Every structure is written in structure tokens, then in C-alpha cells.
Structure 1
Amino acid sequence: MTTGTVTPYRSDPQAGRGGFAQLLRAEWTKFRTVRGQLIGMVVAALVIVLLGLLTATGSHTSCGGASDVCPALPVGPDGEAVDDTFSFAHRPLSGDGGITVRVTSLSGIITYPPPDHDKIVSGVVPWAKAGIIIKDGIRRGSAYAAVMVTGSHGVRMQHNFTRDAAGRPGGVSAASPRWLRLTRSGDTLTGYESVDGRQWTTVGTARLTGLPATVRVGLFVTSPGDLTVRQADLGGSIQQVRFTQATAVFDQVSLEGATPRGEWSRDNVGGAGKTDWERYHRPSGVVESGGTFTVTGSGDIAPSTEGLSIETTLSGVLAGLIVVIVVAVLFITAEYRRGLIHITLLASPRRGRVLAAKAVVIGTVTFVAGLAAAGTVVPVGTRILRADGNPVLPVSTLTELRVVAGIAALLAAAAVFALALGALFRHSAAAVTAAIVAIVVPHILATASVLPVGVAQWLLRLTPAAGFAIQQSIPEYAHVLGHHSPQGGYYPLEPWAGLAVLGGYAVLALGLAVLRLRRRDA
């Protein structure tokens, strides 16, 4: 049914400015006077908080020993958890200066790789690293810059764990050595590479603010594990990481600047050299003979992903989201069921504004409820996880705020999407089912080890479930050993881009609902 009745909104000269505000007040009054809707939103918030806290209290990590307390994760200069484990031959460097070396070989071993897992083989993993480094002491997590050759990624310059710049591709051998140079001038460190030691190419530059006057300069080698991933019979993937070790040979070592003469110091930073292989077969460390250094090491210098992320505390979001969807759908379908939509449209014939007002109200209420829930469960749940010995990957305050506000925005966008589906279907069960199938089901399929990784990633790019990317707190680093899949909490889109996909679906659905409402009341 359609109507052309003139209302006060259309005849009032102030309607253009005050009409929408009146609509908002009217829709807010409708929402708050229906007790079930308010209770439903409170239940959604409580579900998120209670399930999140239950997950946190149910997780306990034991590291053994007398104290049964796990050691704290090393933290890098930017506040991220890091792995800082390598073999290091070094000297002090006061003020400006640098180091130049020639790398003539990079070899290694991989323990028990597939397919048979029956022997130790020769090989170098892609991110094995051998090169020169300037570092603020030997404390794990201290600032550094390094130039290196790698197993399969050519020459790189990396600094402070998260920064990575690519040089020339290719490996290293006695027939094709690589020359590396790293210099310091104040807080600026510059890395170079050369194929002959005469013509040099800049690999990258790093500015390490606050670097002390005296640092450590020298040679290093490290080698992360050998990661293999295979498809499980029932879907998902199985990951295995095996111990590896790398050995590099350096010669033509020269130092510039204020460095004392004498023996080089040798350290296995981060406790390298403690595996059974290193004890009984090839120990990690440094051997010097006639100006040639053979350095053997294992581990990595990179951000660490070995720990729980703060989004572990958000295990209740899916359940809370389902409640939000039901409330949002009923906010519109209840009017159709009771025949009240005609009264609403008589009072405000501009139908697009009616749906817009409903969307603003349900989106705002949901955002506030989600903000309260996430703002409670994330900090409290994280403290509980740490108190129970769980290593929780640290994030910046801004990242934590983004996760909290992002979850609230995710719930709000989903509520608007569900409201629009309710206006389109005009039937509660159909709209609720459609919203759950569009948002919840793809997320479950993508993250529950049911689908191949590629399919899961496309689901999280193309469906409204892309919005869940907003909760990812640990970025994906290309130079870090790991299987970056949805099952591990890594989304294919950036956080705000994923939320934008969900928002786009909400706007599209709302637009279609407005078109249908203009053509037919009920």
C-alpha cells in the first residue's frame, strides 16, 4: 500500500533540518520501549564478555621448573615480541665506523625433513641469515641493523626486527662470493653489497634513534626452523617445524672506527647451542683461523609469533554477533508482523529516511554495547592470560584501541546489514538465517580448519565475514617463518579494508531495502 498523505514533516519549514532528528528520537523510543530489544543487546554484550573471560581463565601454560613460570618474551625497540637468537662474533665500536666482510659460503643441515623423516640432510632454509650486524649490546631485543645473505631471498638489510629491505637476489659460494658493508654515522646505519669489493650498491638505510655511543659490531649467523605444511585428510592443515643449523665462512674482515685490537668476543645470543644436535654433532659458535671466520648458528632475528594474541579474549564475539543479528532483524520485522509499518510510513512518507533512522539507531546502540563488551574483555582477559603463565604477544596501545573499537564497529555494521535484510525479506527467520549464512558461516568455515587455505582466504575477501580482519592484532611479516592462514588468525585483507568490505555489504543491502520499501509497503 502507498500513500500521499501530507504530514507535518513535509509542511513544516523546519522539517529539512529537524525532521530527521525527530525520526531518530522516534526510532530510539521504539527501541528502548521494547524490553526484549534492550535485553537482547545487553545479553549480546554479556555473552562476549563472559565467553571471553571463560576462555582466558581456562588457558594455562606451564614451563616446568621450580617456579613453573614461563620466561617473558623478549621485546624489540618498537614493543613487539621478538626472537633474537644467533651466533655472534663481535667487538665494541665507539662512535662512527663500520665493518666490511666477504662471505664465501653458506651451508647448513635440516633435521628429518619429509617425505620420510628418516635422516638429517644438507640444506639451507630460505630465511637462514649470515652477515654483519651493529647492535646495542647482546641483550635480546636490543636495537640493531644488519646486512646479510640469506638461503633463498638474496641479500637483505634488516633492522629492529620488523624492517626489511631487499638487495640483489641470488646465493653465495666460493666461486660467487658476496661482499657486505655496514657503516654507522651517528644514528644512521647504511648497508651496502658488492660482487667484487670495489663497486658498491646501497641496500638500505636505517635510523636508530637513541643508539648509544658504544655498540657491538661483528659477524652473525642464524637459521630458523624448516616449516612444512600439508593438507589434513579432513580439511585444514598440519604444520611441522624441524631444527636447522647454518654455517657461513667469512674472510677479508676489516673494521673502521674506534675498535680495540685483540680477540673477538663470542656469544650465542638467546641461548643458542643447547639442542642435542649442537651438543653432540656440530656446536654453534665461532671458529677463527688465519683471518677466516667460520660461524655456525641457529634461531632467528625477527618478530616472534610464538604466543597468544589479544584477540584470544574475543572468543565470544561470534555468539554475541548472532544475538545482535536477531535483535537488529526484529527491530524492523516486528513492525511488519504487527502491521505498525503503515503508521510509521504515514508519519514519515520519506521512506529512505525511515530506514536510515532505524540504521543509525541500531548501529549506534550496537556500537556502544560492543565497545563496552570489547573494552572490558580485552584488557581484563589479557591480564588473566598473563597471570596464568600464558605468553601474550604485546601490542601497542593504539593497536589495542583499534581492536576494541573495531569489534564495536564490526558488530554495528553487522547490525545494519541484518536490519537491511529484515527490511528486504520482511520475515524474521529468513532474514536472521541469511545474515548468519553471510557473516558467521564463512568465518567458521575459514577458521575452523575445514577448507583449504586458498579457499578460506577467498571467503574472507569476498564475503561480509571479511570484517573479522579488524580483530587481527599481529601483522603478517614476510620475513618471518610461519604459516599465515586464517586458521592461525591471519586474514587476507588489512584490518580496516576487511571492515570496509562488511560496511560495503551493509550499505548495499540498505540501498536495496530502500528501493523495495519505496515500491511496496508490505
Structure 2
Amino acid sequence: MTLAYGWRSLARLSRAEWTKFRTVRGWVLGMAVAVLVTVGLGLFSASGSHSSCGGPSDVCPAVPLGPGGEAVDDKFYFVHRTLDGDGSITVRVTSMTGQIRLPDATPGVRRVVPGVEPWAKAGVMIKDGTRQGAAYAALMVTGRHGVRMQHDFVHDTAGGRSGVSQAAPRWLRLTRAGGELTGYESADGTRWAKVGTARLAGLPAAVQVGLFAACPGDLTVRQADLGGAVAALRFAEATAVFDNVALRGGTSGGSWRNDDIGAEREPDGAIHHPGGATRAGGVFTVTGNGDIAPRADGQMVEKTLSGLVAGLIVVIVVAVVFVTAEYRRGLIRTTLLAGPRRGRTLTAKAAVIAAVTFAAGLAAAGVTVPLGAHILRANGNYLLPVGPLTDLRVVAGTAALLAVTAALALALGTVFRRSAVAITGTIALVIVPRILATTSVLPVEASRWLLRVTPAAGFAIQQSIPAYPQVTAFYSPQAGYYPLAPWAGFAVSCGYAALALGLAALVLRRRDA
């Protein structure tokens, strides 16, 4: 009975607060301005972003998509044969070397140094043909990450940590049983340890099996003069030597076939940075460049929300004034007389401002994200594709972040009673850390720290593309990658709002109106 009365009381107070909000024209207009600012600045920014592929006669190169619909890099050198049905491939990798091209010290004189990239990879692969983006599973040795089993671009399983050399070669075996592919490693070719299993749905009977080598570019990150970081990716390639190659199962006769998968071609048809393979007896030497991994090069859909910060400032002002105006005009006494349980009154006020802000944010993001994405694509920009659930999270998560920030601002307004102090405090907690972390002002680690421990962590809810540990990329806040997972970052913002509301309720109970 008490619980039912409490809910009825809260509902009554919420209706009263809603009536109060909608009858004050300035507050309603403020929310409308927040929507218009978010939409207007977002679409203006999208319309000003153009790619060299934006002309009507330009033909943009197609970006391969993986089995899950994600954009991928699928570039490597493949020495392969056809496997029909179940079977296996076993090899011994005796060495992996590489080279990296550095900026030319003298114009026209190439400067190449020896070196193996940490995610350089070479090993055995079973792939659904040679089409870029086709399903695959691969067992490999890497430059500095030991033995790995990877499949369908986004999946990565660690094996042994040992590297490979002539003194310490590594045996690899990849087996197929229907759609199940299993990788094993061994130090001596006798005792085998399972690395992992991949289950590839819809894998046809006839697939390609063989040896491969790939190497992403050499990533260097240096401190910028203003405190941020500058990343550069330079060409690199890897060479692996294989022997004791053994195939079992329904392999076709004839010689091995060589393919430079995903090779880019010059205007004259020649391959730009070709890989290669040689065979002397039973020893294969394979050289490759590129990567087999999720693609990190492209714009993310949340970039359309560039006007959110401006819109959020307007929301903060409205949320603070929603409570401080009553203190300024002396109406808070009337409000508290209507709801003697002050904590419940504060809850009703927070619920109303959060609900109104969520609705406004949903309208703003729901218009800006799809329309901004359309404008970016029309201008020739490549947007990294995401699924409908991710799109929904970006839109609804943006609205939820606005709502939580509004509740935080209302709580600070209750604590400080002064609009200027509460607005400044909320902006200092939410907006300033986000700007400092994403505009190359601070060192990368300092930026990540800010986005872990401040309410600005909640902006992670907008991140549509995850950071993959097996990808060589500059995953930094400046590039749109947050240190916390989307819901974890949002939880940090919720925690701050809950603490602030708790403090506001305590202050409201202990002092006079």
C-alpha cells in the first residue's frame, strides 16, 4: 500500500513538473534550439566534407566487406591449391624476416631497413576462394604476438608466445571437417597443441588451401608540438620460409597457384608493391604486404553528430535553469509544500528534465545520423558500415547521454542554487574533458585518462566501430576511439549523475528552501 502510494505521489509530482516545464516558453524554446543546433551543425559539417571520389565521373575503389558485413582489409600473397571436402595442411615455418621503407633522406634514393612488424603474419589458410572479403580461417606466426588463429577478419585467438627462427622453427597444422576448422601448433612436429577452432557457416565443399604472408604498414606515433600525437604508416613487407608442406584430403592435382590478393595496380597495369613466392624443392619462400583484418580507414557514422557539443551546452543551461529559476523567484517553497518529501520532488523534477531531453535528443540524432550519412556518401566519403543495432545504439545512446547530462546539471543546480556556477560546473565536468581529449591538445594517455574518470566517458556510447587489438592502427580519442567500451563509458556518466542527485537530495533535505 505504501509503495503504491509512493508511485502515485511520484506520478502526481511528475505531472506537475511537466506542466511547469511546458508552460514556460523559454524552456521549451531552449530544447527546440538544442535540437536545431545539433541537426544544423551536424549537417553543415557533413556537407563540407568532400572526398576526391565525390565527382560525378569518379569511380571509387570498392571496399571489401567481410562475412559479417564489416569493411575489411584483405591483401596478402597466397600460394594455394583447391581442397574439395575435408582435409588438412601441415607446414613448418623456419624463418620470418621483413623490411620497412622509411622516408627518403635523399630525393629519389629509397631508404629501406630490415625489420619485422609486430603484426606481420605468415602461415596456412583455408579460404572460400580468392575473392576479397571471403570467409577464411588462418593459423599463423606473427612478428611479436606469437602464434595466432584468426578467422573472418574480426576473430583472433592466441596460441603460444614463441617467435620463429631457424633455431626454433614452428610447425602449423590447419584441419577442416565440414564447416569446422581447427588449428594446431607444435615445436617438433610430433607433439601438437590446439590453438583454436573456427566454425564457418556456409563454407562450400571446394575451398582454397595454402600458404600466405602479409604485413601491415609500420606505424609510428610521435608527440606533436601542441601536445597531441601525429601518426604515420609506412610501407612494410614480410617474408616467411616454409618447408615440410603436407596436404591431406581431396586436393586437386597440378601445380600450386600464386595470387597477390587485393593487389593495387598502377595505371599501366603493373602491381603496386607486389608480393611474390619462390619454390626450391620442398621449400617455399613467400613475401607479402597488406593485412587481413577489419578496416580502420574511413569515417564513422557518429561523425555526423559534430553539433552535439553545442546542443548539449543548450541542454545544460535549460536543465540548470529548470531548478535555479525557482530559487531565484522564491517558487521553490511552493514546490516543496506541494511535495513535502523533498527527495521525491527532486526525483520527479529529474525524471521530467531527463525525459524531455531524451525525446529532444532522439529527434536530433534520429534526423542527423541518417541524413548526415547520406550527405557524406553523396560527397564521396566512405563511411565504415555498421549494423542496424549499432545505428540504433548511436542514436538512442546519444539521446540517453543528453538525458543523463541534463539530470547531472539539474543536480548541480540544486546544490549550488546559482545558474552560472552550476552551468560552469557541468560544462567543466562533461564538455571540457571531451574537447581536450579529442582535439589533439593533450598527450594520448592523458586524453584516455580523462575519458575514463570524468562524465565525458559517456561519449563512448557513440563509438560505432570497435578497436581491434590485432589491427595496426592509431586507436586514439582524436581518431574517435574511446578507452572504455560504449556501455561502460555510459555507465560512468550515469554514476556521476546518480552521485550528484544523491548529493542534491541530501542538501535539499538539510537546508531551508
TM-score (norm 2): 0.96
Alignment of 1:54-69 (within 5 A): 54-63=44-53, 67-69=57-59
Question: What secondary structure sits across from 2:213 in the alignment?
Answer: strand
1:491 aligns with 2:485: no
Distance across 2 between alignment mates of 1:238 and 1:423: 43
Equivalent-residue separation in structure 2 for 1:273 and 1:195 (angstroms): 39
Shift of 1:65: 9.8
- After the TM superposition, which residues 362-401 of structure 1 pair with which residues of structure 2 at under 5 Å, given as runs? 362-401=353-392
Matches within 5 A, 1:49-448: 49-63=39-53, 67-112=57-102, 119-271=111-263, 283-448=274-439
CA shift in 2, pair 1:332/1:394, >3 Å: same
CA distance in 2, matches of 1:284, 1:59: 35
Moved over 6 A (4+): 113-118, 273-276
Deviation string, structure 1 residues 373-425 (Cα, Å, up to 9, x no partner): 11111111112111211111001111111111110010000000000010011
Asked whether the equivalents of residues 54 and 380 of structure 2 are also in contact (C-alpha less than 8 Å), the reply is no
* 2:38 matches 1:48: yes
Decide whether the 8 Å contact of 1:109 with 1:246 is kept in 2: yes
CA distance in 2 between partners of 1:64 and 1:415 (Å): 39
1:104: how far off? 1.1
CA offsets per residue over residues 5-33 of structure 1, 9 Å max, x none? Answer: xxxxxxx9984342211101100000000
- Alignment of 1:502 with 2:496, yes or no, is no
Question: What SS does structure 1 have at the residue aligned with 2:473?
Answer: coil
Contact 2:401 2:490 in 1 (8 A): yes
Please list the CA deviations of residues 338-383 of structure 1 after superposition, one character each: whole Å capped at 9, or x if unmatched: 1100111111111111110000000000001101111111111112
Q: 1:221 to 1:353 in 2, by over 3 A?
A: same
In structure 1, distance between residues paired with 2:104 and 2:175: 41
2:318 match: secondary structure? helix
Cα distance in 2, alignment partners of residues 69 and 91 from structure 1 = 33
The 8 Å contact of residues 272 and 297 in structure 1, kept in 2 or not, is answered as no
Q: Is the 8 A contact 1:85 1:272 kept in 2?
A: no
Q: For the aligned residues, what is the CA RMSD? A: 2.1
**Cα distance between partner residues in 2 of 1:169 and 1:113:** 32
- SS of alignment partner, residue 333 of structure 1: helix
Aligned residue number for residue 473 of structure 1: 464
In 2, are the aligned partners of 1:272 and 1:299 still within 8 Å (CA)?
Answer: no
Q: Does 1:460 align with 2:451?
A: yes
Q: 1:233 offset after TM fit, Å?
A: 1.2
CA displacement at 1:464 relative to structure 2? 0.7
Structure 1 residue 163: Cα displacement: 0.5
Q: Which residue of 2 aligns with 1:521?
A: 512
Distance change (3 Å), C-alpha of 1:456 and 1:13: closer
Deviation at residue 118 of structure 1 after TM alignment: 7.6
Distance change >3 Å, CA 217–CA 275, structure 1 → 2: farther
Q: Secondary structure at the match of 2:293?
A: strand
Amino acid at match of 2:141: V
* In structure 2, C-alpha distance between the alignment counterparts of 1:453 and 1:447, rounded to whole Å: 9
C-alpha separation in 2, matches of 1:28 and 1:61: 46
CA contact (8 A) 1:70 1:391 kept: no
Count of paired positions: 509
2: CA distance, partners of 1:288 / 1:430: 74
Question: Offset of 1:483 from its aligned partner?
Answer: 1.5
Deviation at residue 170 of structure 1 after TM alignment: 2.2
Contact 2:54 2:378 in 1 (8 A): no
Q: Are 2:93 and 2:170, in contact at CA under 8 Å, matched by a contact in 1?
A: yes
Q: Give 1:202's aligned amino acid.
A: K
Gaps of 5+ in 1: 1-11
The DSSP-based 3-state class of the residue aligned with 1:36 is: helix
Q: Is the 8 A contact 2:263 2:274 kept in 1?
A: no
CA offset digits 1:136-162 (Å, max 9, x no partner):
111111100000011111110000001
Counterpart of 1:26 in structure 2 is: 16
CA contact (8 A) 1:251 1:291 kept: yes
1:9 aligns to what? none
- Is the contact between residue 53 and residue 381 of structure 2 (CA under 8 Å) also seen in structure 1? no
In 2, the alpha carbon distance for the partners of 1:13 and 1:300 equals: 60
Report if the CA contact (8 A) 1:60-1:385 is conserved: yes
> Is this contact kept in 1: 2:263–2:271, CA < 8 A?
no
How many angstroms does 1:273 deviate by?
7.6
More displaced 10-residue stretch of structure 1: 16-25 or 504-513: 16-25
Classify the secondary structure of the residue corresponding to 1:112: strand
TM-score by length of 1: 0.94
Residue aligned with 1:137, SS = coil
In structure 2, the residue matched to 1:4 is none
Secondary structure of 1:513's aligned partner: helix
Matches of 1:275 and 1:203, distance apart in 2 = 43
Give 1:32's aligned amino acid: R
Provide the C-alpha distance between the structure 1 equivalents of 2:53 and 2:227, rounded to a whole number of angstroms: 31
Task: Check the 8 A contact 1:100/1:180 in 2, yes or no.
Answer: yes
CA contact (8 A) 1:85 1:298 kept: yes
What secondary structure is seen at the aligned counterpart in 2 of 1:224? coil
Which secondary structure state, in structure 2, belongs to the residue aligned with residue 119 of structure 1?
A: strand
| Cα shift at 1:272 | 5.3
8 Å CA contact 1:127, 1:223 repeated in 2? yes
Does the CA-based 8 Å contact 2:105-2:111 persist in structure 1?
no
Offset, 1:313: 0.3
Q: Which region of structure 1 is more displaced relative to structure 2, 164-173 or 398-407?
A: 164-173
CA deviation profile, 1:90-147 (whole Å, cap 9, x unmatched): 1111111111111111111101179999831111101011100000111111100000
SS in 1 for 2:221: strand
Q: Identity across aligned pairs (percent)?
A: 65
Alpha-carbon distance, 1:293 to partner: 1.2
Do 1:236 and 1:450's aligned partners in 2 also have CA atoms closer than 8 Å? yes
